[in-house]
Each structure stands twice: as C-alpha cells, then as structure tokens.
C-alpha cells in the first residue's frame, strides 16, 4: 500500500514538473507499466489538478491512469476535457471518440443480456447518433418506443434523432407527444423552439423558448429553496 501511495506521488510530481504542451508523457506512462497502481488514485489526483485549473498536468496523470486501466471510458472523457481546456482540441476529439467507442461496446454487452431495458436503448441511440450511426440509432429509438410508448423521454429522443435525420415534421410530432405526456419537460420545449426557429416559425419558437426558460427558472428556485 505504501509503495502504491509513493508511486502515485511520484507520478503526480512528474506531471507537475512538466510545463510542456499536453502530449504523451513517456516517463509517466512507463513508470506505471506492469505495476499494481490503482487507476482510481491517479484519477483522483487528476481531478484535484483540474479543480486547481492545472489541465496540462492533469492530462499527463490521466495518461498514466489510462495505461493502468485502458478500458475505462470515463478516463478518456476526463482527459478529453482536460485537453480541450489546454487548447488541444484535436487531441481531445480523439479521446472523445475513444470514450464513445468503449461506452458503446459496454452498452452492446449490457443490452445483449437486457434487451428490454429502455434506458440502455436510449443511451445507445444517443451515442450512436453522435458517432454518425444514425440508422442504428433510429432502430434503438424504435425499439425503445415499442417497449415504452408512453414514455415522454423516448419521444424526446426520437425527436432529436429526427432532427439529425432532417425529418422536421417527425421531430415536431415527437416533441409534441413528449410534451403531451410530460408538460413540464423543459428540454422538449427548448428543442422544439430551436427547431421551429430554424423553420421560420418565430412566434411559435418564442412561445416554446419562453416556456423552457420559465421551467428552468422554476427548477433553479426549487433547488435553492431546499
């Protein structure tokens, strides 16, 4: 245990001494290869660095964590954020793609054993859409709708997928159904308002966007009153 704590300290120190642009830090990576360092300790150290605004240093520590645990999509997601905050958007994009690919792989495994899980279907639909796999995303949406036709969030996701497919009429129908089922779903008002605005319906868009803002303010007030 003491050896692991000391090693984590040395890794963080190596990262903190590096003021270079965020790139692969070979010294940090090689220092953990084949050793029993827990990636969650490295992840915690990176979190502390990011809270302190030291994003370039956090990149190096997260790189070490990824060496220890390369299959964790959350590590790639965090490093993507740190890279973006460090101004390395091209590297951040690659990490976001990796995080998405690993998450999709995990969702595929879970859905294979839980074929009727609506939330898993919606999560995979959203990620597939982000990855440009629109037909597969829409299929997940259709399956989710068949499993839970009265679920407002299902229709909201179907509306988003329809927007991506440039099927505006279908999107408006799905957003309308989502709001019929859940009149307090502010994100559906916001999405329908943005779509209506793009279609030239300025008056309709304003009504929806005003409702979305009112619901958001009501939610903020409720949280502050707790």
pLDDT digits (tens, 9 = 90+) for 68-100: 899 999 999 999 999 999 999 999 999 999 999
Return the CATH number of the domain spanning residue range 117-224. 1.25.40.10
pLDDT of residue 221: 62
At 37 the pLDDT is 62
What is the predicted pLDDT for the residue at 170? 97
Is the separation of the CB atoms in 145 and 155 below 8 Å?
yes
Domain boundaries, the chain: 2-105, 117-224
Which pLDDT score, from 0 to 100, does residue 185 have?
A: 96
Low-confidence ranges of the chain (pLDDT < 70): 1-37, 220-226
Residue 39: what pLDDT?
77
H-type alpha helices, the chain: 2-17, 26-30, 39-51, 55-68, 73-85, 89-113, 118-130, 134-147, 152-164, 168-181, 186-198, 202-224
pLDDT at position 38: 76
- Report the predicted TM-score, pTM, of the whole model to 2 decimal places: 0.74
Domains 2-105 and 117-224 share a fold: yes
How long, in residues, is the chain? 226
Which CATH fold topology does 2-105 show?
A: 1.25.40
How much is the pLDDT for 226? Answer: 56
Is the CA virtual torsion 27, 29, 31, 34 positive or negative? negative
* pLDDT at residue 17, rounded to an integer: 44
Rounded distance between C-alpha atoms, residue 206 and residue 203, angstroms: 5
d(CA 50, CA 126): 27
């Amino acid at each position: 245990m003491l050896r692991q704590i000391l090693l984590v300290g040395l890794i963080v120190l190596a990262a903190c001494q590096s003021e270079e642009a965020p790139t692969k830090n070979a010294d940090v990576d090689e220092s953990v290869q084949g050793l029993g360092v827990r990636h969650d300790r490295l992840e915690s150290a990176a979190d502390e660095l990011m809270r302190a605004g030291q994003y370039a240093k956090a990149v190096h520590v997260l790189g070490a964590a990824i060496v220890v645990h390369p299959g964790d999509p959350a590590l790639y997601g965090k490093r993507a954020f740190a890279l973006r905050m460090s101004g390395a958007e091209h590297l951040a994009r690659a990490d976001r793609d990796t995080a998405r690919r690993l998450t999709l792989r995990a969702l595929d495994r879970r859905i294979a054993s839980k074929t009727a899980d609506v939330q898993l279907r919606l999560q995979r639909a959203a990620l597939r859409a982000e990855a440009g796999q629109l037909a597969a995303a829409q299929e997940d949406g259709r399956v989710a709708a068949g499993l839970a036709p009265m679920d407002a969030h299902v229709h909201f996701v179907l509306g988003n997928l329809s927007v991506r497919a440039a099927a505006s009429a279908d999107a408006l129908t799905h957003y309308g159904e989502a709001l019929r089922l859940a009149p307090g779903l502010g994100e559906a008002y916001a999405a329908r308002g943005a779509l209506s605005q793009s279609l030239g319906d300025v008056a309709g868009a304003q009504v929806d966007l005003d409702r979305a803002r009112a619901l958001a303010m009501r939610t903020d007030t409720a949280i502050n009153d707790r």
